[in-house]
Structure 1
Amino acid sequence: MKGLIDYILKFGDLNKQQIDLITSKVIEIRLRKDAYFSEAGKIPRQVGFVVEGVVRGCYYNNKGEEITRCFIAENNLVVDYVNFEANTASAEYLQACTDCQLIVFSKQDWEELSHTIVGWDNIKNKMVQLCMYQKSRKNPVISQDATTRYLEFLENYPALTNRVALSYIASYLGVTQQSLSRIRKNLH
């Protein structure tokens, strides 16, 4: 819980009473590796905070290939916020790459905080902007060669190479697993 509160307080000030209210609204859940936090075709109903583990955002392209769009590690929000806010079905999956421990707000509780805590909307908007920025900015640029994309991945996600399946990293980079193995071998 401390990680969540520290995270929230980076975006604004809250008193003890407000912090207590926030912590009363959350539940802690565990997601087994490969389980979904939210799924394509369903309306996202919760906002999560990753305490432990790694979640990935992924979708299927028009050829039916699975594409990993982003990785979300500890001390970050995990939510398909656009569809969560709009109450519309998601086009992507948020899936646990490892066993995960999350702190979760239901949609109702998340919205209730806006009505109860002065300044929550401002804090929430900053957290959501960061969350959306993290989901979008780390996409590899396909015009770069695969080695450059892999080196950027290592820079953006230094702690993930030994934590998530190589197939997910390859799909994120837009290369085959064989190509990724070759790149890794050439670099080491």
Structure 2
Amino acid sequence: MNELKIYLNKFIHFTENEMEIFTSLFSEMELKKDEYFAKEGEFSVKLAFISEGVMRAFFRNKSGAEYNKTFFTPSNFIAAYSSITTKQKNLINIQCLTDCKILVANFDKITSLYNDYPKIERLSRIFAEYKFAIKEKREIELVTLEATERYEIFKKEHPNLENLINQYHIASYLGITPTQLSRIRAKK
């Protein structure tokens, strides 16, 4: 829980009471490699903070091909955001690529604190804006940069992740085939 508190203090200065109220909503949970935190077609209600491990958010097209949208590594919040905010079914899957330790809270319990604790609402807004900016940056990179440039950005943003997950997951995230990724890596 201490790691969560340290992370939160980077964004909002909570009083001791506010921090305790917010973090008391979270409980520890362990997920094994290949387990799902969220599945497409289901409803999500949970927000989590990853303290150990690696997860991926991905979607499948109608023929079953998978496309990695993002990776979650320690000290990040995880959620099927569109589902928890709109109360619609998940459009994505969130799956563990390694064994993971997370802190989990019910999102509705967090939002129920907004009126009495404006800093918690402010924190949610800050994270939503931050996630939007990351999403926009990634979308622009996918259509404007060459695969080699996207791979270099991936390595800077996710140091050592290559050593923890399968290469085909990285290729999918970069929008290329595993063979293309092997060629790019061979040139380095």
**Which position in structure 1 is the counterpart of 2:153?**
152
**Which position in structure 1 is the counterpart of 2:72?**
72
Q: Secondary structure at the match of 1:7?
A: helix
Shift in alpha-carbon separation, 1:89–1:70, aligned structure 2, 3 A: same
TM-score normalised by the chain length of structure 2:
0.89
What is the letter of the counterpart of residue 146 of structure 1?
Answer: A
Task: After TM superposition, give the deviation of residue 80 of structure 1 in Å.
Answer: 1.9
In the comparison of the two structures, how many residue pairs are matched? 187
TM-score normalised by the chain length of structure 1:
0.89
What is the letter of the counterpart of residue 165 of structure 1?
Answer: N
Equivalent positions of 1:1-188 (< 5 A) are 1-139=1-139, 140-142=141-143, 144-187=145-188
Shift in alpha-carbon separation, 1:179–1:121, aligned structure 2, 3 A: same
Name structure 2 gaps, 5 residues minimum: none
Q: Equivalent pairs: percent with the same residue?
A: 28
Shift in alpha-carbon separation, 1:2–1:138, aligned structure 2, 3 A: farther
Q: 2:46 touches 2:105 (CA, 8 Å); kept in 1?
A: yes
Q: Distance in 2 between matches of 1:55 and 1:151?
A: 20
Q: 1:11-64 deviations in whole A, cap 9, x for unaligned?
A: 222111121222221111111111111111011110011111111110012442
Q: Distance in 2 between matches of 1:41 and 1:158?
A: 32
**Aligned structure 1 segments of 4 or more residues deviating by more than 4 angstroms:** none
Q: Distance in 2 between matches of 1:55 and 1:128?
A: 19
Task: After TM superposition, give the deviation of residue 136 of structure 1 in Å.
Answer: 4.8
Task: After TM superposition, give the deviation of residue 68 of structure 1 in Å.
Answer: 0.4
Task: After TM superposition, give the deviation of residue 184 of structure 1 in Å.
Answer: 1.2
More displaced, 104-113 or 25-34?
104-113
Q: 1:28 touches 1:102 (CA, 8 Å); kept in 2?
A: yes
Task: After TM superposition, give the deviation of residue 154 of structure 1 in Å.
Answer: 1.2
Name structure 1 gaps, 5 residues minimum: none
Q: 2:22 touches 2:120 (CA, 8 Å); kept in 1?
A: no
Q: Distance in 2 between matches of 1:136 and 1:97?
A: 24
Q: Secondary structure at the match of 2:160?
A: coil
Q: Distance in 2 between matches of 1:136 and 1:100?
A: 27
Q: 1:63-103 deviations in whole A, cap 9, x for unaligned?
A: 42100011111111111222211110011111111111111
Q: 2:48 touches 2:79 (CA, 8 Å); kept in 1?
A: yes
Q: Distance in 1 between matches of 2:112 and 2:143?
A: 41
Q: Secondary structure at the match of 1:138?
A: helix
Q: Distance in 1 between matches of 2:170 and 2:58?
A: 11
Q: Secondary structure at the match of 1:178?
A: helix
Shift in alpha-carbon separation, 1:130–1:144, aligned structure 2, 3 A: closer
